[in-house]
A and B are shown apart, each in its own frame.
Chain A
Amino acid sequence: MVGQGKISEFFIRA
């Protein structure tokens, strides 16, 4: 299965 990644999983809260 291919799922959609979330952008917040890649970028950290500033």
Chain B
Amino acid sequence: MFEARLVQGALLKKVLESIKDLLNEATWECAATGISLQAMDSSHVSLVALNLRSDGFDKYRCDRNVSLGMNLTNMAKIMKCASNDDVITIKAQDDADTVTFVFETPNQEKISDYEMKLMNLDTEHLGIPDTDYSCIVKMPSVEFQRICRDLSQIGDSVVISCTKEGVKFSAAGDLGTGNVKLAQNANVDKEEEAVVIEMQEPVSLTFACRYLNSFTKATPLAPQVQLSMSSDVPLVVEYKLEDMGYVRYYLAPKIED
């Protein structure tokens, strides 16, 4: 028996919104430690890895590991039936071919349940090596979203250049060029407004705007985003979920043929 109850149900809705652009279907791996998911987008350019720790749920029971393969478009349809202040419970029997979502209003006067068919997905699990990144940038997630949106008007790819002074995002296209520079700024009133750079050596890497824009669908999940970069390895874009886990995106760099 698997059962996970989240009073802050809106969080689950936001997590789903953050991945459904990239993934049509995915397997939610449920274990005693929590729920995790790892999947590549259909073109195998990016990878989503997320983790929701069991202690972040208000009630969590997982007698034995279960893999819940879901069509995320269908899951999103069901999640749209939950209000933002609803309490959400996910339930599945061991070896079940369906999952049940229960939505309760805070006053418990309305309780809805939706049963969805599960899928048997042939998922390829990738081992992600531990990497010492040359540059780690922490910045407001809204700012990152804005920069990705703005520069995708200019070109198809963004060059992210990082030095210890700051980080520069650049795009070039038929109409011309655009550059956005952010200076390191840790001395701000609010922690979430800080731009902090940890640099071992400067990097300059090129990434596709389309994927970066998809990653920014996670913006409502966290006030800050962390970009980890090294030459010739995938970029990591991480949104930390307070007291709960993370949503991470890995994006393969553009490479010289």
Contact = CB atoms under 8 A, between A and B. Distances in A.
A4 B207 CA distance: 8
Contacts of B206: 2
Report the contact-size class of chain B (Cβ under 8 Å from the partner): 20 to 34
Contact of A7 (B40, B125, B129, B257): B40
Contacts of B46: 7
Contact of A11 (B129, B157, B256): B129
A12 to B, nearest CB: 5
Contacts of A11: 47, 126-129, 234, 250
A13 B256 contact: no
B32 to A, nearest CB: 20
A7 B126 contact: yes
B254 interface: yes
Contact of B254 (A5, A7, A9, A14): A5
Nearest to B210: A4
6 shortest interchain CB distances as A-B pairs: A5-B252, A11-B126, A14-B127, A1-B257, A14-B125, A3-B257
